[in-house]
């Protein structure tokens, strides 16, 4: 729960400070001032009280700090107990490593100008959330893992892969400030099918240019990112709808199927609404929450279908 709160608050702060939900949309969007960006620790000092969204920043800082203490305890207990747990020590080690990575990234690089840093924060938070959820489900006594159903495991793994790719696409689109490039559901600014636009849009080392006012210069290639995110969302939603129908006869998976259905339908509805209502901050934050819910739902499905190591039936 602490991780989920941290992810939601992080998304809210990141979206709010770049102008999502601003009054004069989209002219007020993506105005950055690299000179005023401060290290994350500044928010807890006296000068930090002047920072925008101070309350959300303080809540994020304290919740993340408490979360770090819990993760340190989990890591120490895992090292001491060794093989007594249902999961190997690799999972708690990975959780601890991701936490350290996020702490260093957040303190030394609080900039919004580098898309890779924004992606590191976003994907690191989602990775931490997913690993902790997997650890929780595997460590529960009498974990409700279903025997058999081996044929469904690749389908569940594919669902998880599609959701992860959709989160990556959404994060990359947001990190490059592509939200205003497609004001309509199927209408974008400029062309999209030119090879140089596609190459630039998905270049992991692409840079963000600012004009003299400190506003991000929206290149035509950003429309590719925004539309790719939307089209891939339809593909992911379509596959999840098919998978839910495929899993419906398995009565033991009823709760998981319902959660996947609700999160998938909700995500599509919220995604369409954000475009229709010109990217309001509340809806776009909810869009991130729904993405986290879909991730947890797919991980839970995979947990139900994959027996713990050493207990898998032959064949």
Is the pLDDT confidence value at 37 over 60?
no
Using an 8 Å Cβ cutoff, are 29 and 19 in contact? Answer: yes
Specify the 3-state DSSP secondary structure of 278.
coil
User: In 3-state terms, what secondary structure has residue 221?
Assistant: coil
DSSP string, 1-60: -HHHHHHHHHHHHHHHHTTTT-TTTTTTTTB--GGG---GGGGGSSGGGGSTTHHHHHHH
| Residue 294 CB neighbour total at 10 angstroms | 27
Tell me the pLDDT tens digit for each residue of 188-220.
Answer: 766 555 667 888 889 888 888 888 777 888 787
Q: What percentage of the chain carries pLDDT values higher than 70?
A: 86
Cα(90)–Cα(75) distance, integer angstroms? 10
Q: Which residue has the higher pLDDT, 256 or 313?
A: 256
Q: What is the predicted pLDDT for the residue at 315? A: 41
For the segment 302-315, the average pLDDT, to the nearest whole number, is 69
Q: What pLDDT is stored for residue 74 in this prediction?
A: 94
Q: What count of Cα atoms within 13 Å lies in the side-chain half-sphere of residue 290? A: 22
pLDDT at site 193: 58
- C-alpha 157: how far from chain center: 18
This prediction has a pTM of 0.89
**Contact assessment for residue 297 and residue 259, using Cβ atoms and an 8 Å cutoff:** yes
Is the predicted pLDDT of residue 36 greater than 60, yes or no?
Answer: no
pLDDT of residue 167: 96
> Which residue reads 């027996």 in tokens?
307
- Report the pLDDT value the prediction gives residue 191, as an integer from 0 to 100: 58
pLDDT, mean over the chain: 85
Most confident of 4-18, 179-193, 298-312: 4-18
What's the rounded mean pLDDT across residues 153-180?
93
Which DSSP letter does residue 103 get? H
Neighbours of 89 (CB within 10 A): 15
Any idea which of 115-124, 174-183, 225-234, 237-246 has the lowest mean pLDDT? Answer: 174-183
pLDDT band at 140 (very low <50, low <70, confident <90, very high): confident
Structure tokens belonging to residue 118? 């924004």
pLDDT at 141 exceeding the cut of 70: no
Dist. CA 111–CA 90, nearest whole Å: 31
Q: Do the Cβ atoms of 272 and 234 come closer than 8 Å?
A: no
Please give the pLDDT value at position 34.
53
- Identify which of 142, 209, 162 has the alpha carbon closest to the alpha carbon of residue 170: 162
251-255: average pLDDT = 90
């Amino acid at each position: 729960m602490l991780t989920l709160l941290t992810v939601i608050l992080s998304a809210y702060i990141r979206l709010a400070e770049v102008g999502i939900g601003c009054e004069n949309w989209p002219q007020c969007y993506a105005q950055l001032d690299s000179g005023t960006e401060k290290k994350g620790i500044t928010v807890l000092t006296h000068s930090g009280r002047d920072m925008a969204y101070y309350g959300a920043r303080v809540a994020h800082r304290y919740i993340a700090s408490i979360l770090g203490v819990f993760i340190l305890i989990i890591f120490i207990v895992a090292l001491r107990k060794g093989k007594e747990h249902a999961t190997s020590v690799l999972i708690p080690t990975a959780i601890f490593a991701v936490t350290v990575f996020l702490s260093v990234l957040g303190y030394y690089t609080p900039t919004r100008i580098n898309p890779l840093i924004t992606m590191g924060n976003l994907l690191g938070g989602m990775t931490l959330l997913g690993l902790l959820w997997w650890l929780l489900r595997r460590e529960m006594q009498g974990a409700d893992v279903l025997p058999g159903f081996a044929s469904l495991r690749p389908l569940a793994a594919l669902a998880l892969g599609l959701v992860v790719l959709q989160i990556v696409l959404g994060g990359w689109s947001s990190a490059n400030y592509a939200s205003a490039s497609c004001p309509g559901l199927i209408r974008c600014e400029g062309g999209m099918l030119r090879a140089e636009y596609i190459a630039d849009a998905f270049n992991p080392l692409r840079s963000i240019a600012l004009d003299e006012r400190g506003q991000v210069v929206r290149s035509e290639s950003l429309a590719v990112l925004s539309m790719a995110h939307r089209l891939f969302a339809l593909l992911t939603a379509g596959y999840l709808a098919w998978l839910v129908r495929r899993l419906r006869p398995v009565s033991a998976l009823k709760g998981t199927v319902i959660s996947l259905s609700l999160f998938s339908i909700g995500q599509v509805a919220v995604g369409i609404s954000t475009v229709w209502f010109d990217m309001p901050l509340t809806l776009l934050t909810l869009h991130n929450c729904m993405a986290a819910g879909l991730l947890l739902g797919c991980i839970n499905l995979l947990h139900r279908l994959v027996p713990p190591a050493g207990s898998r039936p032959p064949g």
